[in-house]
C-alpha cells in the first residue's frame, strides 16, 4: 500500500522541502538575540542581532510565498537561492571564522542541506515527467 506522499504532486514536494528548510534557518535567525543557542551550536552569535532577525523574517516570508506558489519558476528560483546560500556559507567557512568543531559540523551540514535541496529541485525540473 502506497503512502500519501507517493501520490503527491512532485512540485508540491519540492516546494514543501525547500520551505521547511528555509523556515528552519529563519527560526535560527529570528533567535539571533539568544546567545545560548549559538553557543550550543558552536557558532558565533550574529551581530547586530536585529539585522539577522530581519533577515530571518524575510526568509520566513519567502518560505511562505514559496509554499503557496504553484509555478515551476518558483522552484527554479528556490534552487538558485539554495545554491547562493550554500556558496555564501561555504565562502564564510573558507574564510576561517574560527569555529569550534561543533560549529564546523553545523555549517557543513547546512551547506550540504542547501546543496541537496538545490540538486533535488534541479533533478525534478529536468525530469521529463514533471513538465
pTM: 0.85
Q: Within the chain, where are the H helices?
A: 10-30, 35-41, 49-68, 72-94, 101-126
Print burial letters for 66-96: b (CB count within 10 Å at least 16), e (below 16). bbebeeeebbebbbebbbebbeebbeebeee
Rounded CA separation 24/66 (Å): 14
Percent of the chain with pLDDT over 70: 92
Q: Is residue 66 within 8 Å of residue 42, measured between CB atoms?
A: no
pLDDT for the residue 1 = 47
Percent of the chain with pLDDT over 90: 77
pLDDT tens string 4-40: 555 678 888 889 999 999 999 999 999 999 999 999 9
Least confident of 1-15, 65-79, 84-98: 1-15
The C-alpha cell that represents 116 in the structure block = 541537496
Domain ranges in the chain? 10-130
Q: Is residue 46 within 8 Å of residue 23, measured between CB atoms?
A: no
Amino acid at each position: 500500500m502506497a503512502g500519501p506522499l507517493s501520490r503527491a504532486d512532485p512540485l508540491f514536494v519540492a516546494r514543501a522541502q525547500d520551505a521547511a528548510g528555509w523556515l528552519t534557518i529563519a527560526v535560527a535567525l529570528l533567535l539571533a538575540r539568544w546567545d545560548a543557542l549559538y553557543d550550543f551550536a558552536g557558532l558565533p552569535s550574529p551581530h547586530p542581532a536585529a539585522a539577522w532577525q530581519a533577515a530571518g523574517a524575510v526568509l520566513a516570508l519567502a518560505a511562505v510565498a514559496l509554499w503557496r506558489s504553484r509555478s515551476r519558476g518558483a522552484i527554479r528560483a528556490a534552487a538558485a537561492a539554495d545554491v547562493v546560500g550554500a556558496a555564501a556559507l561555504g565562502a564564510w567557512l573558507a574564510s576561517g571564522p574560527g569555529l569550534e568543531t561543533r560549529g564546523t559540523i553545523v555549517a557543513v551540514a547546512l551547506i550540504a542541506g542547501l546543496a541537496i535541496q538545490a540538486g533535488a529541485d534541479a533533478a525534478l525540473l529536468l525530469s521529463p515527467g514533471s513538465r
